[in-house]
């Protein structure tokens, strides 16, 4: 009885082997740099499709790529489009584009093997991209899913729009001629390999050639540097912006000049017009109070660096208050019925050189005329007693004693001298204040 010959079992059947061979051919044709059949190039599969299929086969977008045997560096640049400063909240608002570059040594190919394709574009969500965020401001840390450009030598480039609001320590002392210096600290947490992007022709990582000019701010200086800390690194961009202050000439400086002129001109009114002087000062006080309220709404309440313009207006308010008190005193000196004579020392000063310096000579001449009239009146009392009923000799003014009008004139002259002296004092005070506040 013959034994049956055992059958040899094949591990892989014929159809399975055929499928494996077909798969290997497809993979071999898709690998960058592999020699492909010219017929395959001219087939239905496009060169760009084969290229992307080969580049991102078994690609993990969560892993940071390598370049030249180490983790790839990230070059970061910024293109500024528009800036604005929020003075009330102390923030710098900037519209910009981020220029992010990195490399991957495994994402390279020969352009001659793929219809001379030198670069392709992919979505940012399909490849590894550094998560760039703003450290010193309000930022969600997420950028728009824009296109990423990949060149044949393995260099990635991403241009992403960004809106950053950075905290800024404002110095409002020189407002409205102020310059504000603010910093943007842009980087990625846990990523220490961020470097400046010096790929542009100017060799700088901060570009503002496409800046849309703000109606109020102008960038006059910009700097960039890389800061490396223990666990992360970031790019620090320093911007210096100057305020365009031409329109403030009509809004602030012209009213300030008018206030000073009116406040000083009030001292030249006659002393008996004290009511008009006080009215002028009152109107000026109301105007200054309105300006101070305007400044309070326009600028933040700062304890350490109060604007010089605010100091000028508030000090002018104090000057006008003192001036009002002085005018009340002058009005009293000029209109009150004084029973006592003006001290002889003051009278001689007013009719002497001090009166000449204070331009009181015309008033002195008038006083002498009144004094002569009083003397003549006393002489006529003795010559024609029928026309004047003199009941007592005490009513007759001796020639050496001034009459009532002459006495009142001396007090009014003193009031005028007080006005002139304080005019000089306030003129000097306003001049010093203006120089101090650079008005």
Radius of gyration of the chain (CA): 45
Q: Which CATH number fits domain 66-243: 1.10.3720.10, 1.20.120.920, 3.40.50.620, 2.70.170.10?
A: 2.70.170.10
Predicted pLDDT of residue 322: 95
User: What pLDDT digit, counting tens, does each position of 145-189 carry?
Assistant: 788 999 999 999 998 888 889 999 888 888 888 899 999 998 887
Q: Can you give the three-state secondary structure of 92-140, one letter per residue?
A: EEEEEEEEEEEECCCCCCCHHHCCCCCEEEEEHHHCCCCCCEECCEECC
User: What pLDDT digit, counting tens, does each position of 189-231 carry?
Assistant: 766 566 665 544 344 557 766 677 778 888 888 888 888 877 7
Phi first, then psi, for residue 244 (nearest 5°) are: -85, 105
Predicted pLDDT of residue 19: 53
**Higher per-residue pLDDT: 255 or 364:** 255
Whole-angstrom CA distances from 239 to 15, 106, 222 are 69, 38, 5
Return the minimum-mean-pLDDT range out of 25-34, 104-113, 237-246, 425-434: 25-34
Does pLDDT of 245 surpass 60? yes
User: pLDDT band for position 412 (50/70/90)?
Assistant: confident
Predicted pLDDT of residue 430: 93
Predicted pLDDT of residue 33: 43
Predicted pLDDT of residue 45: 65
Does pLDDT of 10 surpass 50? no
CA dihedral 389→393→399→401, nearest 10 degrees, is: -110
Predicted pLDDT of residue 42: 45
The burial class, CB within 10 Å (0-12 / 13-18 / 19+), for 389 is: exposed
User: pLDDT band for position 141 (50/70/90)?
Assistant: low
Q: What is the mean pLDDT of residues 334-360?
A: 78
**Nearest partner of 107 among 55, 51, 49, 29, judged by Cα:** 55
Mean pLDDT of the chain: 77
Residue 247 is encoded by which pair of tokens? Answer: 């329109």
Residue keyed to tokens 């977008």: 61
Would the pTM of this model clear 0.85, i.e. be above it?
no
| Cis omega (within 30 of 0) for bond into 84 | no
Whole-angstrom CA distances from 312 to 88, 150, 304 are 21, 60, 16
CA dihedral 305→308→310→311, nearest 10 degrees, is: 90
Return the minimum-mean-pLDDT range out of 86-90, 102-106, 118-122, 408-412: 408-412
H-run or E-run covering 147: strand 147-151
Residue 348 is encoded by which pair of tokens? Answer: 């001689």
Predicted pLDDT of residue 265: 92
User: What pLDDT digit, counting tens, does each position of 285-322 carry?
Assistant: 999 999 999 888 888 776 567 888 999 999 999 999 99
Predicted pLDDT of residue 437: 82
State the Cα–Cα distance between residues 267 and 277, nearest whole angstrom.
8
Q: What is the mean pLDDT of residues 391-402?
A: 40
241 neighbors 220 (Cβ within 8 angstroms):
yes
Q: Which sign does the torsion angle of CA 71, 72, 73, 78 carry?
A: negative
174 neighbors 203 (Cβ within 8 angstroms):
no
pLDDT over 70 for what percent of the chain? Answer: 72
Does pLDDT of 371 surpass 80? no
3-class state of residue 37 by DSSP: coil
206 neighbors 224 (Cβ within 8 angstroms):
yes
Phi first, then psi, for residue 327 (nearest 5°) are: -65, -35
Q: What is the mean pLDDT of residues 28-41?
A: 44
Residue 350 is encoded by which pair of tokens? Answer: 């007013």
pLDDT over 90 for what percent of the chain? Answer: 20
Return the minimum-mean-pLDDT range out of 30-34, 210-214, 263-267, 269-273: 30-34
Residue 333 CB neighbour total at 10 angstroms:
21
> Helix 254-265 to helix 308-335 angle, to the nearest 10 degrees?
20
Predicted pLDDT of residue 193: 61
Chain-centroid distance of CA 264 in Å reads 34
User: pLDDT band for position 31 (50/70/90)?
Assistant: very low
Whole-angstrom CA distances from 337 to 333, 340, 341, 396, 415 are 9, 9, 11, 19, 13
């Amino acid at each position: 009885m013959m034994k049956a010959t055992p059958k040899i079992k094949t591990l892989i059947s014929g159809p399975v082997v055929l499928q494996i061979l077909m798969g290997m051919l497809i993979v071999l044709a898709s690998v960058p740099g592999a020699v492909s059949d010219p017929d395959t190039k001219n087939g239905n599969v496009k060169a760009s499709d084969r290229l992307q299929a080969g580049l991102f086969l078994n690609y993990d977008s969560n892993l940071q790529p390598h370049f030249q045997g180490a983790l790839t560096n990230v070059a970061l640049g910024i293109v500024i489009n528009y800036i604005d400063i929020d003075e009330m909240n102390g923030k710098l608002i900037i519209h910009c584009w981020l220029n992010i570059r990195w490399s991957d040594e495994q994402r390279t190919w020969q352009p001659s093997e793929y219809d001379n394709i030198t670069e392709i574009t992919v979505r940012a969500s399909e490849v590894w991209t550094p998560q760039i965020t703003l450290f010193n401001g309000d930022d969600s840390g997420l950028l728009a899913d824009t296109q990423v450009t990949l060149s044949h030598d393995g260099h990635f480039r991403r241009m992403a729009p960004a809106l950053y609001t950075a905290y800024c320590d404002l110095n409002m002392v020189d407002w409205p001629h102020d310059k504000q210096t603010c910093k943007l600290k842009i980087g990625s947490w846990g990523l220490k390999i961020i470097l400046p992007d010096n790929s542009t022709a100017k060799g700088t990582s901060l570009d503002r050639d496409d800046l849309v000019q703000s109606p109020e701010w102008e960038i006059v200086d910009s700097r960039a540097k890389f800061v490396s800390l223990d666990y992360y690194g970031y790019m620090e961009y320093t911007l210096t912006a100057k305020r365009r202050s031409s329109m403030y000439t009509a809004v602030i400086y012209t009213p300030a000049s008018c206030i000073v002129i009116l406040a000083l001109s009030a001292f030249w009114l006659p002393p008996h017009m004290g009511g008009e002087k006080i009215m002028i000062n009152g109107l000026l006080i109301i105007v200054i109070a309105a300006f101070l309220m305007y400044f309070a709404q326009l600028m933040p309440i700062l304890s350490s660096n109060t604007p010089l313009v605010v100091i000028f207006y508030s000090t002018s308010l104090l000057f006008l208050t003192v001036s009002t008190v002085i005018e009340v005193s002058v009005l009293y000196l000029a209109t009150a019925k004084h029973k006592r004579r003006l001290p002889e020392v003051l009278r001689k000063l007013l009719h002497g050189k001090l009166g000449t310096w204070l331009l009181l000579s015309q008033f002195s001449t008038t006083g002498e005329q009144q004094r002569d009239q009083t003397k003549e009146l006393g002489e006529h009392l003795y010559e024609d007693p029928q026309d004047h009923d003199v009941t007592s000799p005490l009513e007759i003014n001796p020639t050496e004693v001034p009459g009532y009008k002459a006495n009142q004139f001396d007090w009014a002259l003193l009031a005028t001298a007080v006005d002139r002296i304080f005019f000089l004092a306030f003129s000097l005070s306003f001049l010093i204040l203006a120089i101090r506040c650079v008005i």
